[in-house]
Amino acid sequence: MEFDDKIPIYYQIKNDLYHRIVAGDLAPGEKLPAVRQLAVDLTVNVNTVQRALSEMVTEQVLTSKRGVGNFVTQDTTKITALKQRLSHGYIERLYTQLHALRLSDGEIVAAIQEYMATTNEEE
Residue 8 or 98 having the CB closest to DNA: 8
Q: Footprint of a second copy on residues 24-53 (CB under 8 A)? A: 24
CB 64 within 8 A of CB 3: no
61 binds DNA per the rule CB under 7 A:
no
Q: How far, CA to CA in Å, does 69 sit from each of 15, 49, 84, 107, 121?
A: 20, 13, 27, 48, 44
Residue 8 or 69 having the CB closest to a second copy: 8
Tell which one of 55, 64, 78, 86 touches DNA (CB under 7 A): 64
Gap between the Cα atoms of 48 and 10, Å rounded:
5
68 binds DNA per the rule CB under 7 A:
yes
CB 17 within 8 A of CB 25: no
7 binds a second copy per the rule CB under 8 A:
yes
Piece of the chain touching a second copy by CB under 8 A; list 31-39, 54-62, 64-72, 91-99: 91-99
